[in-house]
Amino acid sequence: MPPMDPYPFQPCGHGAIARLTQALGILWLRPWARLGFRVRVRRAMPAPMYACVIAANHRSYLDPMFVSMWLRRPLAFFARADLWDVAFFKLMLTIMAGIPVDRDRPGASSTVGAVERLRSGIPVLVFPEGTRTRTGRLGQLRPGPALFARRAGVPVVPVYLHRTEAGWPRGRPLPNAWGRSMEIRFGSPVPPPPAHLPAHLHDHWTTRYLQRWMERQERDLYRDVKAPGASHA
């Protein structure tokens, strides 16, 4: 039996329209993902029903959809600030509590927006590699998820996506309707840093924990093929 959810339920910060949008997406997209991409989902514990940072590796334009469709709450995610200038995108991003990233100050705008959503009880999806992988393997993680979680006082939940690039490969103008099998792994919340660790090293510790967890998933899925920069720890 999966372990009990260690964090108390928090009211969803999204409105009814966002929850309806996600429910319709689940209704339409999960069967397509199961049949078209033979998606397998593995969970270390039940889907989180609390505000948290969802930290995932990044392989495809479809990754936000592949993560959110297996959760029970709408997610907030990042998007370029200029998308709010287009009426359709503005409507959708506002419904889904999108976080605008200002090109002139990406770090500051991302942090303010993420912490605001988290403190409102809305989970936030972050891709700590910063961009989609070009090799199919995990890159070096950045400390964004750890920083957002520490400032908002919420946990980080790791996710590993396997072969999602088959849904929308680089260089292809449109997504595929079908593809080879994929796997999505949801881990347990990252434990808090050791009490003796100085405060300025907390984000580094959390980021390193995430890196090692994702490397373990990658080694398991690729069997004995070692990921670039993987640790033996």
Q: How confident is the model at residue 9 (pLDDT cuts 50, 70, 90)?
A: very low
Residue 204 resides in a domain: yes
Residue 4 resides in a domain: no
Q: How confident is the model at residue 12 (pLDDT cuts 50, 70, 90)?
A: very low
Q: What is the CATH number of the domain that holds 72?
A: 3.40.1130.10
Question: Using only C-alpha atoms, what is the Rg of the chain?
Answer: 17
**Tens digit of pLDDT for each residue in 62-116?**
898 889 889 888 889 888 888 888 887 787 777 777 888 887 787 787 899 899 9
Taking residue 67's Cβ as centre, other Cβ atoms within 10 Å add up to 20
Average pLDDT score over residue span 136-165: 94
pLDDT of residue 4: 38
**Closest to 117 measured CA to CA, from 8, 10, 13:** 13
The mean pLDDT of the chain is 83
Domain span at 77: 16-170+179-221
Is residue 13 predicted with pLDDT exceeding 70?
no
Residue 87 resides in a domain: yes
Residue 44 resides in a domain: yes
pLDDT of residue 74: 83
Residue 5 resides in a domain: no
Mark residue 206 as left, alpha or beta (left: phi above 0; alpha: psi -120 to 50; beta: remaining). Answer: alpha
Residue 112 resides in a domain: yes
Residue 34 resides in a domain: yes
Domain count, the chain: 1
Tell whether the torsion through CA atoms of 185, 188, 192 and 193 is positive or negative: negative
Residue 148 resides in a domain: yes
